[in-house]
Amino acid sequence: MALPILYSFRRCPYAMRARLALAESGQPCELREIVLRAKPPELLSASSKGTVPVLVLPGGQVIEQSLDIVRWAFAQHDPAQWLMPEQGSSSDMDALIEQCDGSFKFNLDRYKYPDRYDNIDAIAHRTAGADYLMTLDVQLQSHEYLFGSRPCIADIAIAPFVRQFAHVDITWFEDQRWSALTRWLAAFLASARFQRIMGKYATWEPGTIGARFPSGA
């Protein structure tokens, strides 16, 4: 049977979300690892946005947004109830992800890539981004994951972006007073689920079949 095709780039946090959800749901796909500076025409034909991730279903439907891929994957199979937080509501979970994708991502980009923007104070954007991280830290002080004792989609949606923020200046990050956040991020990065989706794949060549992902599925 034909598999869904996932266009991905290993280090992209949006693509990490998609790979995490597909792996955790046990949904196999054909992974096509691309190079962003040399996007294959097949990707651009499937999605004019030209960014990853993009999931092309066997029937031709294209899912272009990372969170839509996450929700599609768990709609196929979700025995661990990733779509339903243990504590709080789905609306609470969605609101926290929306803040990540909105104001936090805005500040992250300007902190990490100040040369791409005019008249940017990177440290001011670091400070603004840190406000969101303190919110996460407070939420994590009473339980292991963002919404209870087990992970939900908020954890895999947000953690890749916290990772990116931390790695801009890891010494500064580790010196901050957000011990619960640091513990959560460290556990995420060391987890088998994260290691599983960060394997390296050769760049996909048009006309060939991509790698089966996740391996063993």
What would the pLDDT profile of 115-140 be if each residue is shown by its tens digit? 999 999 999 999 999 999 999 999 99
Is pLDDT of 28 > 80?
Answer: yes
What is residue 18's predicted lDDT score, i.e. its pLDDT? 98
Domains contained in the chain, CATH given:
5-80+197-213 (3.40.30.10), 90-194 (1.20.1050.10)
What is residue 215's predicted lDDT score, i.e. its pLDDT? 79
What is residue 172's predicted lDDT score, i.e. its pLDDT? 98
What is residue 73's predicted lDDT score, i.e. its pLDDT? 98
Q: Average pLDDT in the 9-37 region? A: 97
Question: What are the residues whose beta carbons fall under 8 Å from the beta carbon of 158, sequence distance 6 or more?
Answer: 96, 97, 100, 136, 146
Of all residues in the chain, what percent carry a pLDDT higher than 90?
98
pLDDT in tens, 76-97: 999 999 999 999 999 999 999 9
pLDDT in tens, 187-203: 999 999 999 999 999 99
What is residue 49's predicted lDDT score, i.e. its pLDDT? 92
Q: Average pLDDT in the 98-104 region? A: 98
Q: Model's pTM, two decimal places?
A: 0.96
Helices (H), the chain: 13-25, 41-46, 66-76, 90-99, 105-112, 122-140, 153-168, 170-174, 179-190, 192-197
The answer to whether 90 and 153 are in contact (CB under 8 A) is: no
User: Residue 4: phi, psi to the nearest 5?
Assistant: -60, 150
Amino acid at 61: Q
